[in-house]
Amino acid sequence: MTDPSTELAPLRRQVADACRVLAARDLAPGYLGHISLRIDERRLLVRCRGPQERGLAWTTAQDVHLVTLDGEPGTPDELQGWDPPNELPLHAEVLRTRPEVTAVVHAHPETVVAADLAGLGIRPIIGAFDMPGTKLAHAGVPVYPRAVLIRNRTLAAEMLAAMGSCPVVLLRGHGLTSAGAGVPEAVLNAVSVERIARLSLTVVSAGGRLRDLPEADMAELPDLGGSFNHDTAWRHELARLA
């Protein structure tokens, strides 16, 4: 398949690389999960299902296709033997509702599912260990309490109501949805949430008790800026793939 425009080729590669990052970080250990990127008001790039599905760890740019928010081909020849994910409404409804969001991640990290089912919320239990993640947890990570396949706009709207203006929402018995101003931000938000869930499970399994970071310590955590929190972190994630 050839790109309908040369400018979409690097964006397809970015979405594909991001899918591989999710797998490398154990947020998508199997073949379930997908990432989308807004292209314009009615179209997005999204990882699709093909005839030789192998899972997110082996995603290539050829797996990423241009579709409308309603799942129609973004160009006449775009979907030939490929299908958008069943949960495309999950992506589309976030993009319809939140204009500041350009990228959406949906993943099934086992640690996040286990921590939520164990009653462990995503709390600011760490500090300088992961400052963006700590601030995200401090602001609150809500939970959508239904363990359903979000395959239509009604269910997606329910998820959006739970998510509100937060960057991440947990999906009980299912996984998570993460949003961002770009693909790196959406993925890194999900990575931070998974890291806190994993640490929480480790602490509790060792007989410990989760304690939120004191407000005095929260106030001492600087904002190192997007060039460090996102750009440098994203280069690191891509380098790990090699």
- Residues noted as catalytic: 87
To 10 degrees, the CA torsion angle through 223, 23, 177, 70? 120
| Side-chain-facing half-sphere of 31: CA atoms under 13 Å | 10
Relative orientation angle of helices 233-241 and 183-205, to the nearest 10 degrees: 80
Q: What is the Cα–Cα distance from 148 to 84, expressed in whole angstroms?
A: 18
Question: Which residue do the tokens 């998820």 mark?
Answer: 159
**What 3-state DSSP class applies to 126?**
coil
Q: Quick check: 156 and 71 in contact, CB under 8 A?
A: no
